[in-house]
C-alpha cells in the first residue's frame, strides 16, 4: 500500500495555460470589444504566448483577463488607458503584479466579481459548444498520465475546477478514472506548483506530519524555486521523480 497524495490539478498534472489564455482572450473581446478593433491575429498569438510567461502570477482565473488587456495596452499605445502599461515589460509584470493589479482595476473601472462571472460564462459556453476543442487546448505534463495510471498510492485531486471538467480531462487526455469522491481531497503528501499556496499550508499545525512538495514544473519561477529550496518544510520535486513518488 502506497502513501496518500493530494495533487494540485492545474500546473502539476495538467498544463491548462493554453486553455485559460484562449478563454481569457475570448472573454476580453466580450468585455472590451472596442479594444480589439486594431488587433490582428499575430498580436493575439503574441498575447497568448506571453501568457505562458506571466501565468505564475495568477491566483484566480479572472486575472487572466486583466493580463490579456495589460499585454494589449503594452503593445498598442493608441488604446492605452492604464498609467502603468507604458514601458512595462513581461518581467515587470512577474515582479510587481500584486501592485499593478489594484491600479489597473481602478483605472479600468473593473469589478472582481463581474470579471469572475464573465470568465466562467465564456469558458462554460466554449465547453458546451465544443467540448473536444476545449479539451484539446489542455495537455498533461510528460509522464504524468502513466504516473497516475500505475500509482499504488491513493490519489486525491485538489482543484478549483468543477469536478466534471477535471474528470473529463483526466479521462479524455490521461486515460485515467479517479473516483469522484477523490476529486476534492486532502492527504499526507501535498504536491503544488504555487509557492504562495505552500507557504500558507505549512502554517497549519494540523499538517505538520505531511510531506510538502513544490514541483519544478508548472506555474512557478526560478526565483520561487530558489526560495522554496531554502524553506525546510518544502521539498522540490522534479518531474522525473514524480512517478517514483506515486508508486
What pLDDT is recorded for position 184?
61
Percentage, residues of the chain above pLDDT 70: 96
| pLDDT surpassing 90 at residue 68 | yes
Mean pLDDT of 2-31: 92
Q: Which of 98, 133, 168 is the last residue of a domain?
A: 133
Whether 84 and 94 share a structural domain: yes
- Assess whether pLDDT exceeds 60 at residue 99: yes
Same domain, 11 and 21: no
Handedness of CA 14, 17, 22, 23 (dihedral sign): positive
> Do residue 22 and residue 11 come from a single domain?
no
Q: Is the same domain home to 158 and 53?
A: no
- pLDDT at position 17 is 94
Q: Which residues of 195-215 are buried (b: 16+ CB within 10 A; e: fewer)?
A: beebbebbeeeeeeebbbbbb
183 — pLDDT class (breaks 50, 70, 90):
confident
Query: Mind listing the pLDDT tens digit for each residue in 107-150?
Result: 999 999 999 999 989 988 999 999 999 999 999 999 999 999 99
| In a shared domain, residues 82 and 102 | yes
Residues 62 and 167 in one domain: no
Which cell is 190 given? 501535498
Q: What is the pLDDT of residue 14?
A: 95
Indicate whether 122 and 205 sit together in one domain: no
- Rounded to the nearest integer, the mean pLDDT of the chain is 89
The least confident of 14-23, 111-120, 175-184, 186-195 is 186-195
| 73 and 117 inside one domain | yes
Both 32 and 122 in a single domain? Answer: yes
Instruction: Yes or no: say if 75 and 50 are a contact pair by the CB < 8 Å rule.
Output: no
CA distances to 118, 147, 159, 186 from 183, rounded to whole Å, are: 25, 17, 7, 10
Domain boundary among 111, 133, 155: 133
Contact 65, 28 (CB under 8 A): yes
Q: How many domains does the chain have?
A: 2
Q: Are residues 29 and 96 in the same domain?
A: yes
Query: Given this model, what pLDDT does residue 187 score?
Result: 40
The CATH number that applies at residue 9 is 3.40.50.1000
Q: 170 and 217: one domain?
A: yes
pLDDT at position 2, please?
58
Rounded Cα–Cα distance for residues 229 and 236 (Å)? 7
Q: Which helix (H) or strand (E) holds 166?
A: helix 163-169
Verify that 184 and 205 share a domain, yes or no: yes
End position of a domain, from candidates 107, 133, 159:
133
Query: By residue range, what is the domain housing residue 34?
Result: 17-133
Amino acid at each position: 500500500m502506497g502513501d496518500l497524495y493530494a495533487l494540485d490539478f492545474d500546473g502539476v498534472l495538467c498544463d491548462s495555460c493554453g486553455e485559460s489564455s484562449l478563454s481569457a482572450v475570448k472573454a476580453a473581446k466580450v468585455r472590451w470589444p472596442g479594444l480589439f478593433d486594431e488587433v490582428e491575429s499575430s498580436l493575439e498569438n503574441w498575447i497568448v504566448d506571453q501568457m505562458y510567461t506571466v501565468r505564475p502570477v495568477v491566483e484566480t482565473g479572472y486575472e487572466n483577463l486583466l493580463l490579456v488587456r495589460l499585454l494589449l495596452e503594452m503593445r498598442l499605445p493608441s488604446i492605452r488607458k492604464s498609467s502603468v502599461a507604458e514601458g512595462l515589460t513581461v518581467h515587470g509584470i512577474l515582479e510587481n503584479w500584486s501592485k499593478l493589479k489594484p491600479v489597473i482595476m481602478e483605472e479600468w473601472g473593473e469589478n472582481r466579481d463581474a470579471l469572475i462571472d464573465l470568465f466562467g460564462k465564456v469558458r462554460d459556453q466554449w465547453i458546451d459548444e465544443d467540448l473536444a476543442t476545449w479539451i484539446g487546448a489542455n495537455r498533461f505534463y510528460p509522464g504524468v498520465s502513466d504516473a497516475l495510471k500505475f500509482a499504488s498510492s491513493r490519489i486525491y485531486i485538489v482543484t478549483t475546477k468543477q469536478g466534471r471538467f477535471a474528470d473529463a480531462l483526466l479521462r479524455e487526455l490521461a486515460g485515467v478514472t479517479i473516483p469522484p469522491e477523490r476529486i476534492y481531497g486532502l492527504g499526507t503528501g501535498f504536491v503544488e506548483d504555487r509557492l504562495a499556496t505552500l507557504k500558507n499550508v505549512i502554517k497549519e499545525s494540523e499538517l505538520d506530519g505531511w510531506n510538502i512538495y513544490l514541483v519544478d514544473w508548472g506555474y512557478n519561477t526560478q526565483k520561487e524555486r530558489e526560495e522554496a529550496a531554502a524553506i525546510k518544510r518544502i521539498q522540490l520535486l522534479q518531474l522525473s521523480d514524480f512517478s517514483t513518488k506515486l508508486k
